[in-house]
Amino acid sequence: MRNFGNSWGLFAKWTAVVLSGGYLALAGAQNTPKTPKGMTTSIPGELPGIHLVSPVPDGQWILPAGDFANTRYSPLSQITNKNVQSLHVVATMSDGIDHGQEGQPLVVDNTLYWVTPFPNNLIAYDLTRPGFPIKWTFQPHPSRRAVGVACCDTVNRGASYARGKIVYNTLDDHTVAVDAKTGKLVWETAVGSIRYGETETMAPLVVHGIVYVGISGGEMGVRGRLTALDLKTGKILWRAWSTGSDKDVRIGPGFHAYYPKDQGKNLGITSWNPGQWKHGGGPVWGWISYDPELNLIFYGTGNPGPWDADMRPGSNHWTCTIWARDPKTGYAKWAYQIVPHDSWDYDAIMENIPVDMPWHGKQRKLLLHPARNGYMVVMDRTTGQILSAEPFVHVNWANGFNLKTGMPNINPNKRTHAGKYTMNICPSSTGGKDFIPSSFDPQTGYLYIPAHNTCMDYEGMSVNYIAGTPYLGASVRMYPGPGGYQGKLIAWDVATAKPVWSIKDKLFPVYSGVLSTGGGLVFYGTLEGWFRAVDARTGKVLWQFKTGSGIIGDPITFTGPHGKQYVAVFSGIGGWMGASDFPSISADDPYATLGANGAMRNIKAYTKPGDTMYVFAL
């Protein structure tokens, strides 16, 4: 125990160095100070020129994506493409909940932590004892009313560990910090209100002793924001709103948007009809990443509200926007609105992965954003310039991006309007991929994207704002896209902006996160419940195991107390697309579950709800 205490002290010291401005010294990998136990900066087999800016998980898993950069890569290499055939289950745990289990567990100090869907219990398991018995359970008892305002099932996407605390969000808008050793509440802060349709589903990120928390409710007319809290006390330090004045949005003198379309005063007000920005959406419900070298946090904002675009003429800044902000002050460095005047629910909340690598012959500081709108967007993360945007699924709402102006070349026939069905739009609102996170493997240079092939019909409808009820304004029906399949795992070569291989799923979208490892393996799951290990280079499925329910969680890997490598994943269907499996949803209404039901109605014949965590080892 003492050893771990010391190593976490080191971690605190390391972050303290970063905090004091010493991060500049990190610019060269050689100058990196000692990396905390359970993380490493040494990545054997890294492709020449590729540099990951954050240490990666090497034994523990203390952040939602394992690292600050959201690569979801671990160099652990006991389990390889040679021996993965003998991977088997060593433990299973249940939380007794029949709602979707998104996100991933954490592993800190030989303890495995699980944040469940509503009622958001935190369960700690002891990895030092056989069968991984429960150490304690923390129950925050969120309000039951939150269930009725959560758009897409009562999910939770996980926790962050920092300085002895497990920090996560409850569905009824409270951020809680729990003592990682004792399971006792340290602080609890309300960051939103279910009265206004706000919920919390995202996994907070902790950087430099500051907790970053977003908000969900893009279908409820919320006003999105990023909230920063003090890790010690839970006190709210600042809020960066997604709409409103430059002051509210935290745009100051240090801000420079790369494209003229994103420049101008108070765009968060002036790009809306008067007052509409107050219910304009732009929720922050996805992943936050951090680049310790540039000292910037990156995240995206969600769709504008309502879904009926005709009701809100204008570009609707700063919804569907990717942000780079100073982690301490929250002030924006740059912003890029990827979908101006969104008419399809193409949230821009997907993971943003900072990677340094050669790009067209030059070493560049890239930001990888596999967008919900179906484009794989590569940006220069120092400026917010787009370097490339190539479709990774079938796309017809736009014909590429104009890299000079930053504008998508929108297909006017696929623009949606009130009172008219626009047919056969690809991808559907659920996207070319949803928030379900991809993984970047520095050994192959590939981004492994969990993708959907789903299209939709979409009719805008005028809607009244009634606080705490859906501010939707659309009738949507989804269905499988062309080609006779509905999902695929894509290995995307970042350097050439082309797919290398893919594994198709005929029946359902790929709705599980991806993990890549130093053993040359990629792990992911299917909505039917298969958990698979795939050869990272060839896409050959080397091993698979049928879990108890559909997989919408994200696999992780860690080392046990005796040095053995484990892989863990949640099984438990739900979420937006998986909700069609619930008995409370009827298959005969394709417009149910915000339209996803049309594409998912067969799911009841393949799997049933119920959350289990599976832990595998050789």
Partner 1 sequence: MRSCLAMIIIALLAIATGCNGSGPAVAAGAEPAIRTNVGPIPGASSASIGQKDPYANDPIAAENGRRLFVWYNCYGCHGGHGGGGMGPSLRRKHFIFGHRGAQIYDSIAEGRSRGMPAWGTKIPSGQIWQLVAYIQSLRTPQEPDPPTEPANEQVPNPMHNNRIAIGTQSQH
Residues facing residue 214 across a β-bridge: none
Question: What is the 3-state composition of the chain as percent helix, strand, coil, each rounded to the nearest 5?
Answer: 15, 35, 50
Task: Please select the residue that binds partner 1; options are 233, 273, 586, 602, rule is CB under 8 A.
Answer: 586
Q: Note whether 470 binds partner 1 by CB under 8 A.
A: yes
Nearer to partner 1, 9 or 148 (CB): 148
Q: Note whether 20 binds partner 1 by CB under 8 A.
A: no
- 540-566 b/e (C-beta count within 10 Å ≥ 16 → b): eebbebebbbbbbbbbbbbbbeeeebb
Q: How far is the CB of 158 from partner 1 (least distance, A)?
A: 22
Nearer to partner 1, 40 or 502 (CB): 502
Amino acid at site 589: D
Task: Please select the residue that binds partner 1; options are 582, 607, 614, 615, rule is CB under 8 A.
Answer: 582
Residues facing residue 294 across a β-bridge: none
Q: Among the options 110, 156, 303, 316, which is catalytic?
A: 303
Q: Note whether 593 binds partner 1 by CB under 8 A.
A: yes
Q: Note whether 145 binds partner 1 by CB under 8 A.
A: yes
Q: Among the options 345, 434, 459, 581, which is catalytic?
A: 345
Q: Note whether 488 binds partner 1 by CB under 8 A.
A: yes
E-state strands within 73-173: 73-74, 88-94, 106-108, 111-115, 122-126, 134-138, 160-162, 165-170
Nearer to partner 1, 309 or 613 (CB): 309
Task: Please select the residue that binds partner 1; options are 383, 385, 469, 612, rule is CB under 8 A.
Answer: 469
Cβ count near 230 (within 10 Å): 15
Nearer to partner 1, 191 or 534 (CB): 534
Q: Note whether 235 binds partner 1 by CB under 8 A.
A: no
Which residues 198-227 are close enough to bind partner 1 by CB under 8 A? 219
Contact region with partner 1 (CB under 8 A), list: 339-347, 402-410, 460-468, 547-555: 460-468
Q: How far is the CB of 555 from partner 1 (least distance, A)?
A: 18
Q: Note whether 19 binds partner 1 by CB under 8 A.
A: no
HSE value, Cβ hemisphere, 13 Å, CA-based, for 76: 27
**Residue 121 designated active-site:** no
Report yes or no: 55 and 35 within 8 Å, Cβ to Cβ. Answer: yes
Nearer to partner 1, 221 or 244 (CB): 221
Q: How far is the CB of 172 from partner 1 (least distance, A)?
A: 10
Alpha carbon distances (Å) from 611 to 251, 279, 442: 42, 34, 32
Nearer to partner 1, 230 or 390 (CB): 390
Amino acid at site 12: A
Amino acid at site 535: D
Which residues 416-445 are close enough to bind partner 1 by CB under 8 A? 423-424, 426
Structure tokens that stand for 438 in this block:
């991809």
Structure tokens that stand for 353 in this block:
């992965």
The single-letter DSSP state of residue 203 is: P
Report yes or no: 199 and 216 within 8 Å, Cβ to Cβ. Answer: yes
Shortest CA distance to 356 belongs to which of 410, 286, 294, 422? 294
Report strand pairing: 73-74 vs 515-517. Answer: parallel
Q: In whole angstroms, what is the distance from residue 435 CA to residue 22 CA?
A: 33
Q: In whole angstroms, what is the distance from residue 169 CA to residue 152 CA?
A: 16
Report yes or no: 438 and 351 within 8 Å, Cβ to Cβ. Answer: yes
E-state strands within 446-529: 446-452, 454-460, 474-480, 487-493, 498-505, 515-517, 521-525
Amino acid at site 445: G
Q: Note whether 540 binds partner 1 by CB under 8 A.
A: yes
Cβ count near 483 (within 10 Å): 12
Q: How far is the CB of 238 from partner 1 (least distance, A)?
A: 30
Q: End-to-end alpha-carbon separation of the chain, Å?
A: 26
Q: How far is the CB of 569 from partner 1 (least distance, A)?
A: 18
**Four-residue CA torsion sign, 597, 600, 601, 605:** negative
**Residue 200 designated active-site:** no
Q: How far is the CB of 385 from partner 1 (least distance, A)?
A: 24
Contact region with partner 1 (CB under 8 A), list: 74-82, 204-212, 387-395, 546-554: 387-395
Contact region with partner 1 (CB under 8 A), list: 4-12, 14-22, 86-94, 461-469: 461-469
Ordered DSSP codes for 207-218 = ETTEEEE-BB-T
Q: Note whether 148 binds partner 1 by CB under 8 A.
A: yes
Q: Among the options 102, 173, 219, 342, which is catalytic?
A: 219
**Residue 219 designated active-site:** yes
Nearer to partner 1, 381 or 433 (CB): 433
Q: Note whether 236 binds partner 1 by CB under 8 A.
A: no
Q: Note whether 523 binds partner 1 by CB under 8 A.
A: no
Q: Note whether 590 binds partner 1 by CB under 8 A.
A: yes
Q: Note whether 490 binds partner 1 by CB under 8 A.
A: yes
HSE value, Cβ hemisphere, 13 Å, CA-based, for 74: 28
Q: How far is the CB of 304 from partner 1 (least distance, A)?
A: 16
Q: Note whether 464 binds partner 1 by CB under 8 A.
A: yes
Nearer to partner 1, 102 or 457 (CB): 457
Q: How far is the CB of 380 from partner 1 (least distance, A)?
A: 25
Q: Note whether 412 binds partner 1 by CB under 8 A.
A: no
| Size of the residue set binding partner 1 (CB under 8 A) | 68
Nearer to partner 1, 231 or 510 (CB): 510
Q: How far is the CB of 531 from partner 1 (least distance, A)?
A: 13
Q: Note whether 499 binds partner 1 by CB under 8 A.
A: yes
Nearer to partner 1, 127 or 151 (CB): 151
Q: How far is the CB of 27 from partner 1 (least distance, A)?
A: 37
Structure tokens that stand for 437 in this block:
């996170």
Report yes or no: 374 and 393 within 8 Å, Cβ to Cβ. Answer: yes
**Four-residue CA torsion sign, 114, 117, 122, 124:** negative
* Residue in the structure block whose two tokens are 């003592």: 179
Q: How far is the CB of 465 from partner 1 (least distance, A)?
A: 9
Residues facing residue 555 across a β-bridge: none
Nearer to partner 1, 219 or 611 (CB): 219
Contacts with partner 1, residue ranges (CB under 8 A): 144-151, 194, 219, 391-392, 394, 396, 423-424, 426, 455, 457, 461, 463-464, 466, 468-472, 475-477, 479-483, 485, 488, 490, 499-507, 530, 538-541, 579, 582, 584-595, 597
Query: Catalytic site residues?
Result: 219, 303, 345
